[in-house]
Amino acid sequence: MQAAPPAPATTARAFSALPSTLAVRPPSLTGALRALEGLLLRGGQRTARRNAWSAVLEDRRRARARREAQSLLEAAAAPGPQAT
C-alpha cells in the first residue's frame, strides 16, 4: 500500500517561503523608464537628456513666475475704486 501524497501547501505558507526581496513593491514607472534608458543609451546621452529635461522644467518655472509677476503688476496699475 502506498502512502497518500502530501497535502498541498496553503497559500500563506507558500508566500512565507518566498524571499523577502519579492515582497517589495515593484519599481515605479519612472524607475522602470530610467532602467530602460540606462540599457538603451550611453552615459553621455543619458546625461544630456536629463540636462535638457531639467532646462525645460526650469524654463516652465520661470515662465510661471513671469506670468504671476505680470498679473500682479497689472492689478497694481489698474485704477481701483476711489475713497469718498
pTM of the model: 0.45
Position 43 scores a pLDDT of 73
Average pLDDT over residues 70-81: 88
Q: Which residues contact 6 (CB under 8 A, 6 or more apart)?
A: none
13-62 pLDDT, tens per residue?
A: 555 555 555 566 777 888 888 888 777 777 788 888 899 999 999 999 99
